[in-house]
Amino acid sequence: MSERGETLSGPLAADGVLEREAAAAPGATSLPLVVLVGNPNVGKSVMFHNLTGRYVTVSNYPGTTVEVTSGQARIEGKRFEVVDTPGMYSLLPISDEERVARRILIEREPALVIHMVDAKNLERMLPLTLQLAELGHPLLVVLNMMDEAERVGLRIDAAGLSEAIGARVLEAVATSRRGMERVRAAILELAAGESSPALAAPQLATPLRYEQGIEAAIERVAERLPARWSRSRRGIALLLLQQGEEITRLLRETDPAAAASVEQLTAELERESRRSPTYAIASRRQDLCRGLCARFVAHPSAPHRGLADRLSELAISPWTGVPIVLAVLYLGLYRFVGTFGGGTVVGWLEKDLFGGIINPAFNALMLRLLPAQSGWQHWTRELVAGDYGVVTLGLTYAFAIVLPIVSLFFLFFSVLEDSGYFPRLAMLVDRLFKRIGLNGRAVIPLVLGVGCGTMATLVTRIQETKRERLLTTFLLALAVPCSAQFGVITGLLAKGRATVLGVSVAFLIWLGVVGLVFILAGRLASRLVPGEPAMFYMELPPLRWPRLGNVLVKTLARMKWYFAEILPLFVAASLFIWVGRLTGLFELLLSLFRPLVVGILGLPSAAAESFLYGFFRRDFGAAGLFTLAPQMSGVQLLVACVTLTLFMPCIAQFLVMRKERGWRASLAIAAIVFTVAFSVGALLSALLRSSGVTL
């Protein structure tokens, strides 16, 4: 335990020492306990200091490293013990801090719980208010940061809200002590037990009832709870049904039999419900909170609907939203990343700079330094220079082909991100994505997947259910090309002679085939993987002009991640190829691939190499394709592009898949992806060749 009192001075000193000793043993006092809870950053600690003054105790909560601050408040001569808890988002804890906050609520019997709320974000905070109300302790809700809420023009009907949730609601500005008098008076009234019985336990005007199955389970669990939780029966039963483990443990310590039967009930409920009880309960609360906010929060009447608002509406409504997204993708991906990046810039860097100047010069230098045609000099030279050298191949791929495309993509992505377009895109495609078992949230990983599938697989974490994450991971592995692939493919296919409206036909066929695979695979997978699509709803942040500084910072940060991640793999791949050629292993692998590539897909045998590279990284395979393109016909190029796009996720993506989804799922995905890629490639090849088209 450590003391954080300031030095004592003057006439206060004697009193201060007294208070200090009393506060040093939290819980030991028999004073009524007032617990401050709420989301992080809402002003709990400021309120705590307003109430307690200077002398407080900071201690680790027993058995944890989480610090809890406690102190005393004196209101009209009456003393209270006040505890400031770490921020928490809900009573279903994820972090240690949240766990401690919950334990304080459950293990110690508070005389009053003060829920501190950021008044600007009422809708997001109210679910916790409801959870606290269900716990049954006397509750005071403080709408803090009213100054900021007022500045944006929000008005909240505190009295109405108070009536609806059956608990006192007060407005305050903790930093300027506005509303403190009323808060102190409320503490005196509610925590000293002098309140009317109606106010003691929060009582919603219309009680919050859940689905029948859940209500029945609540009742049965509540019956088995020990007497000391009498006040919180319903609330604790709900917690047990949702994320029981920790509380079950608590229960087991005192009453093992009750714990066992509760566990059984929970398992039963899980099995019988159509959707997860946790989700059902949360969405029921969400709905109620939305209703409460609609009734009691007045938003500033939008006086000037500016250009941004109108654009925002256009972006969400399907009739205008779809053309907008097509235009954004056409300009951003096809024109900017594809034809400009993958065509113009790469052509210049790869052919002129690296192919024409850097690599020949480096090769000549190596030949001068290590002239022998056999022995160690030859092999060392082969390692760094020549057709497969770490420098000449690895660095050319990395800096001349992948770097420009990927940076242009991340630039494009960051512009969209900073403008606030993504949430609108998410709303727009939500309905569509429901058909493949996903929801609007999948937009981010899927669009990012066009940058780097590995990064996107990590980002699937923003999705709420395991099922969605699995489906998205699968689609990312199968039907979403990464930016290097996309750039190279667009750059190559855009050169096709046949065009429609300025877009190459070969590119359109590629897009059509990959899109079709995406939709069919998505539909099929969503049928096979059990579960329902999760609900998706989000408040929209304002649409705004992207700021150059933000965009650059985000682009740079992503590029840094990307290169830290891929450069080692590029070097490793070159080393592997070198060792493979030294030992003949490379040839062996190629001879396995060749029959597939030549026989089934009808491609030149050199293409087998790009497929082998593609296994290391998708972008590596794409880069290989770039150097190979001149040897192929239009049809062959298209078949190669389609197969490579659908082909096996690269090693990096596979490793991340394994890490995030486990061995079984990732091996299954790999097997499916591999089969689909070659089947579709073979089918397309047969179709195109039998129809005799040229592209």
Partner 1 sequence: MSDRALTTCGYCGHRFDVEEGRRSCHACSLVGGGCRSLRCPRCGYENPEEPRALGWLRRLFGREKERA
Binding stretches for ligand GTP (CB under 6 A): 38, 40-46, 86-87, 144-145, 147-148, 173-175
Instruction: Kindly give the residue spans of alpha helices, DSSP state H, lying in 2-121.
Output: 12-23, 44-52, 96-107
Closest to partner 1 by CB, 192 or 559: 559
- For position 89 contacting partner 1 by CB under 8 A, the verdict is yes
In angstroms, what is the minimal distance from the CB of 3 to partner 1? 19
Structure token pair of residue 1? 């335990």
246 binds, among ligand GTP, partner 1, Mg ion, none (CB under 5 to 8 A by kind): none
- For position 461 contacting partner 1 by CB under 8 A, the verdict is yes
| Contacts of residue 18, Cβ cutoff 8 Å, sequence gap at least 6 | none
423 binds, among ligand GTP, partner 1, Mg ion, none (CB under 5 to 8 A by kind): partner 1
Angle at 50 between CA 45 and CA 56, to 5 degrees: 65
- For position 302 contacting partner 1 by CB under 8 A, the verdict is no
- For position 589 contacting partner 1 by CB under 8 A, the verdict is no
In angstroms, what is the minimal distance from the CB of 546 to ligand GTP? 28
Q: Rounded to whole angstroms, how far apart are CA atoms 651 and 565?
A: 12
- For position 576 contacting partner 1 by CB under 8 A, the verdict is no
- For position 51 contacting partner 1 by CB under 8 A, the verdict is no
332 binds, among Mg ion, ligand GTP, partner 1, none (CB under 5 to 8 A by kind): none
3-state secondary structure of 524: helix
92 and 285 in contact (C-beta within 8 Å)? no
327 binds, among Mg ion, ligand GTP, partner 1, none (CB under 5 to 8 A by kind): none
N- to C-terminal Cα separation, the chain: 77
In angstroms, what is the minimal distance from the CB of 175 to ligand GTP? 4
Closest to Mg ion by CB, 43 or 449: 43
- For position 444 contacting partner 1 by CB under 8 A, the verdict is yes
Q: Which helix (H) or strand (E) holds 423?
A: helix 421-434
| Contacts of residue 378, Cβ cutoff 8 Å, sequence gap at least 6 | 370, 372
Binds partner 1 by CB under 8 A, chosen from 46, 68, 577, 650: 46
Cβ density class 290-319: b for 16+ within 10 Å, e for less:
eebbeebbeeeeeeeeeeeeebbeebbeee
509 binds, among Mg ion, partner 1, ligand GTP, none (CB under 5 to 8 A by kind): none
- DSSP code of 80? E
Q: Rounded to whole angstroms, how far apart are CA atoms 188 and 194?
A: 8
144 binds, among partner 1, ligand GTP, Mg ion, none (CB under 5 to 8 A by kind): ligand GTP
Q: Rounded to whole angstroms, how far apart are CA atoms 180 and 509?
A: 68
Which one, of 92, 40, 105, 47, lies nearest residue 71 by Cα?
A: 47
Structure token pair of residue 124? 């997001």
538 binds, among ligand GTP, partner 1, Mg ion, none (CB under 5 to 8 A by kind): partner 1
145 binds, among partner 1, ligand GTP, Mg ion, none (CB under 5 to 8 A by kind): ligand GTP
645 binds, among Mg ion, partner 1, ligand GTP, none (CB under 5 to 8 A by kind): none
Closest to partner 1 by CB, 162 or 653: 653
- For position 209 contacting partner 1 by CB under 8 A, the verdict is no
For the chain, what's the residue count? 695
568 binds, among Mg ion, ligand GTP, partner 1, none (CB under 5 to 8 A by kind): partner 1
- For position 306 contacting partner 1 by CB under 8 A, the verdict is no
- For position 557 contacting partner 1 by CB under 8 A, the verdict is yes
In angstroms, what is the minimal distance from the CB of 468 to partner 1? 12
Cβ density class 331-369: b for 16+ within 10 Å, e for less:
ebbbbbbbbbbbbebbeebbeeebbeebbeebbeebeee
Which one, of 327, 337, 361, lies nearest residue 486 by Cα?
A: 337
Closest to ligand GTP by CB, 88 or 415: 88
- DSSP code of 502? T
- DSSP code of 171? E
The piece of 383-391, 416-424, 430-438, 497-505 that touches partner 1 (CB under 8 A) is 416-424
475 and 462 in contact (C-beta within 8 Å)? no
Binds partner 1 by CB under 8 A, chosen from 17, 369, 372, 553: 553
159 binds, among partner 1, Mg ion, ligand GTP, none (CB under 5 to 8 A by kind): none
In angstroms, what is the minimal distance from the CB of 84 to Mg ion? 6
Q: Rounded to whole angstroms, how far apart are CA atoms 217 and 244?
A: 13
174 binds, among ligand GTP, Mg ion, partner 1, none (CB under 5 to 8 A by kind): ligand GTP
38: which strand partners?
A: 116
In angstroms, what is the minimal distance from the CB of 88 to ligand GTP? 8
Q: Tell me, by CB under 8 A, how many residues bind partner 1.
A: 37
Between the alpha carbon of residue 303 and those of residues 59, 164, 298, 300, 312, the distances in Å are 51, 30, 14, 8, 16
Binds partner 1 by CB under 8 A, chosen from 5, 8, 24, 45: 45
Binds partner 1 by CB under 8 A, chosen from 178, 200, 565, 604: 565
Closest to partner 1 by CB, 435 or 659: 659
Instruction: Kindly give the residue spans of alpha helices, DSSP state H, lying in 136-244.
Output: 146-151, 158-165, 180-191, 197-200, 212-223, 233-243
- For position 420 contacting partner 1 by CB under 8 A, the verdict is yes
Rama region for 692: left / alpha / beta (φ>0; ψ in -120 to 50; rest)? left
Q: Rounded to whole angstroms, how far apart are CA atoms 141 and 162?
A: 8
**C-alpha 290: how far from its chain's center?**
23
Residue span 517-546 as binding mask against partner 1, x where in contact by CB under 8 A, dash where not: ---------------------xxxxx----
Which one, of 145, 142, 147, lies nearest residue 158 by Cα?
A: 142
In angstroms, what is the minimal distance from the CB of 534 to partner 1? 13
656 binds, among ligand GTP, Mg ion, partner 1, none (CB under 5 to 8 A by kind): partner 1
Q: Which residues bind partner 1 (CB under 8 A)?
A: 40-41, 45-46, 89, 95, 124, 417-418, 420, 422-423, 444, 454, 458-459, 461-462, 538-542, 553-554, 556-558, 560-561, 564-565, 568, 652, 655-656, 659
